[in-house]
């Protein structure tokens, strides 16, 4: 019997559409129930959101990493270098380039990264927010690199936010450090990022790796980056008011302890990438 190649044949086995409608409806109802009941069961302040990290995921980059936090935050990072740097515009910059290399960081949000209405790509507010995150990322990653070994060169780190569900900067720091280590450049240590936030109530506990909804309700936020092997802090970024210096010190100790607990996950992902090679 001749076959009609112009016709798209369906699968041999199929299911009624009502079955998929029931499954999707149950999933949506369960998700709505979790969102509505989220305030009734407070998160354990010492609990860390499960983290998945994988190095060497892009063949087109010298180094790459994918990092995902339980709850939805997804980040893809690529690193290149060292590459020849363009001629600096000033004599002071040229003298500095002779001594050590330069790190350049780029941060972009995918148009579908956030829930609800999509942000207009290319808007002034969007570009300013991306530049702020890129600058914070550079300040956290630069202390991890032995830039004096790469004079007149530049290292490039590009971060793409695929999904935003909170703790974006902290996740970007960990992913960027993982991608740089995967590229093979000389580093002092991996930078591990951790975010914290607290609600308007001063007596409330700090929450580690907050989700997007928790960050939206928070009155105080803190992001810390740590080099665990050297026991050195590479960056601290805080925002908010109404907290005493003792509260900030408590949050900093809280975040550093979380970075120590996250460090083995990143180190193991590098080990697995080396074994795959």
Lowest mean pLDDT among 76-85, 139-148, 177-186: 76-85
pLDDT of residue 37: 42
Cα(203)–Cα(221) distance, integer angstroms? 15
Cα(16)–Cα(18) distance, integer angstroms? 5
pLDDT band at 27 (very low <50, low <70, confident <90, very high): very low
Domain locations in the chain?
A: 46-276
pLDDT of residue 56: 93
pLDDT band at 22 (very low <50, low <70, confident <90, very high): very low
pLDDT digits (tens, 9 = 90+) for 251-269: 999 999 999 999 999 999 9
DSSP 8-class letter at 144: G
Nearest alpha carbon to residue 221 among 232, 208, 234, 233: 208
Residue 66 tokens read as 């994918």
pLDDT mean across residues, the chain: 82
Across the range 137-151, mean pLDDT stands at 94
Q: Is 265 helix (H, G, I), strand (E, B) or coil?
A: helix
Pick the CATH number of 46-276 from 3.40.50.2300, 1.25.40.10, 3.30.230.70, 1.20.1530.20: 3.30.230.70
pTM of the predicted model as reported, rounded to 2 decimal places: 0.80
Nearest alpha carbon to residue 240 among 221, 212, 214, 213: 221
Across the range 188-194, mean pLDDT stands at 95
**Residues forming beta bridges with residue 66, ordered by sequence position:** 54, 76
pLDDT digits (tens, 9 = 90+) for 59-78: 999 999 999 998 789 999 99
Across the range 224-235, mean pLDDT stands at 95
pLDDT of residue 196: 93
pLDDT of residue 103: 94
Instruction: Between 20 and 163, name the one with better pLDDT.
Output: 163
Give Cα 26 distance to the centre of its chain. 31
pLDDT of residue 39: 43
Burial of 231 (0-12, 13-18, 19+ CB in 10 A): exposed
Cα(222)–Cα(196) distance, integer angstroms? 5
Is residue 271's pLDDT more than 50?
yes
Starting at the edge strand found earlier in the chain, the sheet holding 192-198 runs: 207-208, 192-198, 220-227, 232-240
pLDDT of residue 9: 53
Residue 257 tokens read as 């302890």
pLDDT of residue 200: 85
Which secondary structure element, helix H or strand E, spans residue 52, and what is its range? Answer: strand 51-55
pLDDT of residue 263: 95
pLDDT band at 108 (very low <50, low <70, confident <90, very high): very high
Is residue 216's pLDDT more than 60?
yes
pLDDT of residue 199: 86
Instruction: Between 91 and 68, name the one with better pLDDT.
Output: 68
pLDDT of residue 127: 86
Which secondary structure element, helix H or strand E, spans residue 107, and what is its range? Answer: strand 102-109
Across the range 73-98, mean pLDDT stands at 78
Is residue 206's pLDDT more than 70?
yes
Strongest mean pLDDT among 28-42, 169-183, 198-212: 169-183
Nearest alpha carbon to residue 60 among 156, 165, 152: 156
């Amino acid at each position: 019997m001749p076959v009609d190649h112009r016709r798209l044949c369906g699968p041999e086995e199929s299911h009624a559409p009502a079955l998929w409608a029931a499954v999707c409806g149950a999933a949506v109802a369960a998700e709505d129930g979790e969102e509505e009941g989220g305030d009734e069961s407070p998160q354990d302040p010492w609990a860390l959101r499960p983290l998945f990290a994988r190095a060497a995921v892009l063949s087109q980059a010298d180094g790459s990493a994918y990092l995902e936090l339980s709850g939805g935050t997804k980040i893809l990072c690529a690193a290149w270098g060292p590459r020849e740097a363009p001629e600096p515009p000033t004599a002071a910059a040229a003298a500095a380039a002779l001594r050590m290399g330069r790190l350049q960081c780029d941060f972009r949000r995918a148009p579908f990264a956030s829930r609800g209405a999509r942000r207009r790509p290319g808007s002034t507010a969007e570009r300013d927010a991306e530049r702020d995150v890129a600058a914070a990322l550079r300040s956290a990653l630069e202390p991890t690199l032995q830039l004096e070994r790469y004079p007149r060169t530049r290292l490039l780190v590009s971060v793409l936010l695929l999904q935003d569900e909170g703790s974006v900067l902290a996740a970007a720091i960990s992913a960027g450090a993982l991608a740089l280590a995967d590229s093979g450049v000389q580093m002092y240590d991996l930078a591990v990022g951790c975010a914290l936030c607290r609600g308007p109530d001063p007596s409330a506990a700090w929450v580690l790796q907050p989700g997007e909804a928790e960050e939206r309700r928070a009155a105080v936020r803190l992001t810390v980056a740590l080099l665990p092997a050297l026991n050195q802090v590479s960056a601290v970024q805080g925002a908010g008011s109404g907290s005493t210096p003792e509260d900030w010190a408590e949050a900093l100790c809280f975040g550093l302890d979380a970075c120590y607990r996250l460090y083995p996950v990143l180190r193991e992902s590098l080990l697995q990438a080396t074994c795959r090679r």
